[in-house]
Amino acid sequence: MSSAEVRRAAFDNAGVPAAAAALVDRIAKAAWKIGDDDIAAARAAGLSEDEIFEITVCAAYGQAMRQLDAGLAALAAAVASAKEPA
């Protein structure tokens, strides 16, 4: 898988290579719990410092976009239901 494909997979949180899967999953589900052990595990899985950085940024940005999209959809639904006659 090319570097661009890995970054896209991290952004999408889908089809992530095994070496990065645990880190990407942790970022998507509990980013505030990322610690030195998570980075060490990614390094031990064969990822370079640059790869870890790129994957981390893409995974975090992708998760933020998914959360933003969900929030905007909920807001749109609330506005639409408020406009409906009772």
Q: Which domain holds residue 77?
A: 3-83
What is the CB neighbour count within 10 angstroms for residue 78? 10
Q: How far apart are CA 48 and CA 61, in angstroms?
A: 20
User: Helical H runs in the chain?
Assistant: 3-12, 18-30, 36-44, 49-83
Model pTM score: 0.87
pLDDT digits (tens, 9 = 90+) for 7-63: 999 999 999 999 999 999 999 999 999 999 999 999 999 999 999 999 999 999 999
Q: Is 20 exposed, middle or buried (0-12, 13-18, 19+ CB in 10 A)?
A: buried
Which residues touch 49 (CB under 8 Å, ≥6 apart)?
A: 43
Q: Give the pLDDT confidence score for residue 86 in this predicted structure.
A: 66
In this predicted structure, the answer to whether residue 83 has a pLDDT above a threshold of 90 is: no
> Residue 78: pLDDT above 90?
yes
Cα–Cα distance measured from residue 82 to residue 63, given in angstroms and rounded to the nearest whole number: 29
